[in-house]
Chain A
């Protein structure tokens, strides 16, 4: 597609529930990144995919967070047993190579855990 597409744009869920956030990167971009942005803060790195594999998942806060990219294109970020502290905007970005020229971000999924 022309840009990075994220769905849903907004998600409200109850504490303890499971959620999935989807990212459709720019066609041909091999690198895909997930970031989390809390109110008034800059984005914080979660995980980086090069192709199908997670090349760096050091930013995932705990084992409730998991992400996949099975065919090297669309990625899904999965959060189990959601907590109120998980509320944030989850941003996906994609790039050629390793992102030396900067990323293209999607508009994000605003997750609210009530």
Chain B
């Protein structure tokens, strides 16, 4: 079993839709949870960072962590074509980050 599971998609939504991206994990020791956005042929870019359970909002993005269910989510409101990218969840206990496989998102104008 992988440490982090993420549906690779692809996911295609119309502009303005609410997007929900999710990951599950198996290691209860994970404490820090992140979402990265990766455009084609670019390195991952940090979008959201949370510690422990709860919600965190930043503009159109909301990250949720439910440690009891070992489940994290990223919500994108009012999605834009520029949001089209691969979204990677990541989590760590210390030095190593464990990444999901990424979900490919396309927002259609």
Contacts and interface: CB of A to CB of B under 8 A. Distances in A.
Interface of A: 4, 33, 35, 40-45, 48, 55-56, 58-59, 91, 93, 98-108, 110
B96 interface: yes
B99 A42 contact: yes
A109 B34 CA distance: 23
Contacts of B95: 33, 48, 55-56, 98-99
Q: Is the interface of B mostly helix, strand, loop or mixed?
A: strand
A42 B49 contact: no
B97 A103 contact: yes
B56 to A, nearest CB: 12
Contacts of A110: 41
Given A41-B102, A42-B6, A103-B97, 12 more contacts: A33-B97, A40-B8, A41-B101, A42-B90, A45-B96, A93-B43, A98-B95, A100-B32, A100-B51, A102-B46, A105-B43, A107-B42
A107 B43 contact: yes
Contacts of A100: 32, 51
Interface size class of B (residues with CB under 8 A): 20 to 34
A110 B40 CA distance: 12
A48 B88 contact: no
Given A40-B8, A42-B6, A42-B88, A104 B99 contact: no
B44 interface: yes
B101 A40 contact: yes
